[in-house]
Amino acid sequence: MCNLYSMTSNVQAIRDFVRTSRQWRENQNLGNFAPMPGIFPDQFAPIVRNTEAGVELAMVRWGMPTSSRELFEAAKRRAQKIRQKEGRDLDKDEFNALLKMEPDRGVTNIRNTTSKHWERWLAPEFRCVVPFNSFSEFKADEGGDIWFAFDAERPLAFFAGIWTPQWTSVRKIKEGEVTIDLFAFLTTEPNAEIAPIHPKAMPVILRTPEEVETWMTAPWEEAKKLQRPLPDGLLKIISRGFKEDPPPEGETPAEPPTNPQGSLF
């Protein structure tokens, strides 16, 4: 499970890579944003997504909705704790209120695309690509966070993702109910480099503009073929033990974003 990655390329590099056949959304004020050497779940991060107005680059919150069944079971467990504490059962209205406020921290990685829960977001209008320069898989006895990239220069690539507009949920109890855009990216079987660190999965990575175009526009029967491991030998371990990926040797460390949850526009 990849729950930490970096994005340090600039807006123009992203646009140059994504040579889509669709039009970019007009009148986007795409100023640059600060490098993000450590992106964690539930933070806002840049994605390139399909919209009715065209392809756009936007800052979106990481973590797609959890299934209603999982949230229902979580609310039942909370109701059981109340029963044990107060010695009474919740009535229907009380349980529904509890369910409505059940925190949904979001699903960051998506593996089972045959699930009914994910089927609604597999069409091209809900697909996105997530720019990254490196990503981490955690293994304590190997040094903690193990950072992977194509080489020490950390060239730009993309995760294959999906997004949903204006989803209403409770992400954090203290935050309350919010309505926001959300995204996550797909995973698949690990290749030879990832398997010793994380034997269950690796992110679905798109290496070329052609793969990005296929993911963003093709029918699902064609696009789903991209949910496969990278060929062995392409990824390198470029650092260990850091919660933020250090810059390549000789470069100045990145300043943190001044508004990490803001918009690019």
Phi and psi angles of residue 65, each rounded to the nearest 5 degrees, phi first: -60, 140
Query: Residue 61 corresponds to which tokens in the numbers above?
Result: 């919150």
> What's the Rg (C-alpha) of the chain?
20
Helix axes 92-100, 68-86, angle to 10 degrees: 120
pLDDT tens column, 170-208: 888 888 889 999 999 999 999 999 999 999 999 999 999
Cβ atoms within 10 Å of 43's Cβ, excluding its own: 15
At 167, the amino acid letter reads W
Q: Are the C-beta atoms of residues 129 and 213 closer than 8 Å to each other?
A: no
pLDDT tens column, 2-47: 899 999 999 989 988 987 667 777 656 656 778 999 999 999 999 9
Mean per-residue pLDDT over the chain, rounded = 86
258 pLDDT more than 50: no
The pLDDT of residue 71: 66
Q: Which domains does the chain have, with CATH numbers?
A: 5-64+109-134+156-177+189-232 (3.90.1680.20), 67-103 (no CATH)
pTM: 0.85
Question: 78: pLDDT confidence band, cut at 50, 70 and 90?
Answer: confident
Q: Which of 185, 192, 141 is nearest to 163 (CA)?
A: 185
262 pLDDT more than 80: no
What is the Cα–Cα distance from 139 to 19, expressed in whole angstroms?
36
Q: Are the C-beta atoms of residues 211 and 173 closer than 8 Å to each other?
A: no
